[in-house]
């Protein structure tokens, strides 16, 4: 399985690099952003196992082609730990999503503009499951999609505050792990959900 996943990531990374190289050539200006946020899993099983919301950190770069359109690429990290009800099984996970997309900007006020966008998503998921006797590790990579909305507020000539609301579609098809002593099975994970964030952007 490892040999099948590496080419997928390589192709995605290559296409992402080509898109950004083309974007940088024609961009009117570029920006870098650091964002902190919270992730709310839509799946009930994930909500019951982990804390809600889950912390989410993200770095993003964007290139603006016209006053109304730009392209973004971002890498994030979501992580948490928890314990399943009734079985006392400890779980922890970290997830690294990489997103690439386009968004349309529209003016709200002189220094405030909103945006709507969509893009593709590639995520790497790692989970650790343990009981009093053994520990299992689950690793999986998967493609998905992202829908984005929010608004930006210009603070100064080169600084912008951004508020985002995203919905991530991501599903990890994992091999089922059964803990026979506790009659508990852990399999595929639906990590789709809402992500809200606030970021500080520097405009070049």
Q: What is the pTM of this model?
A: 0.79
Q: Which residue has the higher pLDDT, 22 or 120?
A: 120
> pLDDT of 144-172, one tens digit each?
999 999 999 999 888 999 999 999 999 88
Specify the range with the lowest mean pLDDT, choosing from 40-49, 64-73, 173-182.
Answer: 173-182
Measured CA angle at 11 (ends 74, 123), to 5 deg: 45
Confidence at 191, pLDDT banded by 50, 70, 90? confident
How many distinct helices (H) and strands (E) make up the chain?
2, 12
3-state secondary structure of 133: coil
The DSSP secondary structure of 56-121, one letter per residue, reads EEEEEEEEESSSSEEEEEEEEEEEEEEE-TTT--EEEEEEEEEEEEEEEEEEEETTEEEEEEEEEE
Specify the range with the lowest mean pLDDT, choosing from 16-25, 42-51, 106-115.
Answer: 16-25
Q: Is the pLDDT of residue 80 over 70?
A: yes
What is the average pLDDT value for the chain, to the nearest integer? 80
The helix (H) or strand (E) run that includes residue 127 is: strand 112-130
Give the domain 2-203 fold: Porin (2.40.160)
> pLDDT of 125-135, one tens digit each?
888 877 667 77
Domains of the chain, by residue range, sit at: 2-203
Q: What are phi and psi of 188, to 5 degrees?
A: -60, 150
């Amino acid at each position: 399985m490892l040999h099948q996943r590496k080419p997928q990531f390589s192709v995605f990374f290559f296409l992402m690099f080509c898109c950004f190289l083309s974007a940088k050539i024609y961009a009117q200006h570029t920006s870098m952003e650091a964002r902190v946020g919270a992730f709310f899993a839509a799946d009930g099983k994930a909500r019951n196992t982990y804390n809600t919301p889950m912390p989410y950190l993200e770095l993003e770069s964007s290139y603006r082609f016209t006053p109304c359109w730009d392209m973004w690429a971002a890498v994030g990290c979501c992580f948490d730990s928890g314990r399943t009800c009734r079985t006392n099984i400890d779980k922890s996970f970290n997830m690294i999503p990489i997103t690439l997309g386009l968004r349309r900007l529209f003016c709200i006020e002189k220094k405030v503009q909103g945006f709507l966008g969509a893009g593709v998503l590639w995520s790497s998921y790692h989970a650790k499951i343990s009981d009093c006797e053994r520990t299992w590790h689950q690793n999986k990579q998967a493609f998905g999609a992202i829908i984005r909305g929010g608004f930006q507020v210009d603070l100064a000539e080169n600084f912008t505050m951004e508020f985002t609301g995203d919905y991530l579609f991501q599903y990890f098809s994992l091999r089922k792990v059964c803990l026979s002593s506790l009659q508990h099975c852990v399999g595929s994970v639906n990590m789709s959900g809402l992500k809200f964030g606030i970021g500080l952007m520097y405009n070049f």
